[in-house]
Amino acid sequence: MIKLYSYFRSSAAYRVRIALNLKALPYESIPVHLLNNGGEQHSAHYESINPIKLVPSLVDSEQIFTQSLAIMEYLEEAYPDTTSLLPEEVNVRANIRAISQMIACDIHPVNNLRVLQYLNKQLDIDETHRNDWYRHWITVGFDALEKVLAKQPGKFCIGDTPTMADCCLIPQIYNAKRFNVHLDDYPHILSVEASCKELPAFIQAEPEKQPDMA
């Protein structure tokens, strides 16, 4: 069975949980607590699995896979008979990947735990300014994403079925809400969220539903 090294609140792990659920691929969740024990991702054991010490990692047929978008592409290619998260048309695939990467490259990494910890410990930035930082990068990203989604018809980011882009967006919305980003200015983002929230694959992947929820 597929094993997923996950942390309930990690949005990169959350993306892969949604993708596995949409594909109806059963998996065993192995928790890696990013705060307890000095951060379990820093253990020698986990580093041997994921040298950059981030979640998620996925193990399938004794092979290790890392990086959430690469894992989703792998699942797409290794399990072609499951529900696809990337339609066939080349231009559409490119648009889906671009939205996914707007989130996974331009928003999320700048707000990752290790970055916030560096701002705190190495640069002595207080919580108020760290929260401003967090909201700033989401706002810059969501301002752009809202414009992209406004041009797209359909219930989801691209089209009327969920894709890799929705797997990325929903965890980022979760983060935005956690840090009190006002989402009223993003009607298209909220509309996609409403569509996703109707589907068990998204609901069951939520942080609060995970076995390692603190």
Residues that bind a second copy (CB under 8 A): 51-54, 63, 65-67, 69-71, 73-74, 77-78, 90-91, 93-94, 97-98, 100-102, 104-106, 108-110, 114-115, 118-119, 122-123, 125, 129, 132-133, 136, 140-141, 143-145, 147-148
Which residues have a Cβ under 8 Å from the Cβ of 27 and sit 6 or more positions away? 1, 2, 3, 4, 20, 58
Of the pair 140, 194, the CB lying nearest a second copy is at 140
Q: How far is CA 157 from CA 15, 32, 135, 180, in A?
A: 14, 30, 22, 22
Cβ of 53: how many Cβ atoms within 10 Å? 16
Q: Least Å distance between CB 84 and a second copy?
A: 14
Give the Å distances, CA to CA, from 96 to 38, 39, 64. Answer: 36, 33, 25
Question: Shortest distance, CB of residue 38 to a second copy, whole angstroms?
Answer: 16
CB-nearer residue toward a second copy: 85 or 199? 85
- Tell me whether residue 21 or residue 68 sits nearer to a second copy (CB atom): 68
- 82's CB contacts (< 8 A; 6+ apart) are 23, 24, 25, 75
* Cis before 153 (ω within 30): no
H-helix or E-strand spanning residue 66: strand 63-66
Shortest reach from residue 45's CB to a second copy, in Å: 14
Cβ-Cβ contacts under 8 Å for 78 (sequence gap 6 or more): 60
Whole-angstrom Cα distance, residue 116 to residue 104? 16
Closer CB to a second copy, 122 or 153, in the complex: 122
**Minimal distance, residue 167 CB to a second copy, in Å:** 15
Residue (94 or 214) nearer to a second copy, CB: 94
Least Å distance, CB 213 to a second copy, is 25
Q: Are 130 and 119 in contact (CB under 8 A)?
A: yes
Query: Least distance in Å: CB of 28 to a second copy?
Result: 19
Which residue's CB is nearer to a second copy, number 2 or number 199?
A: 2
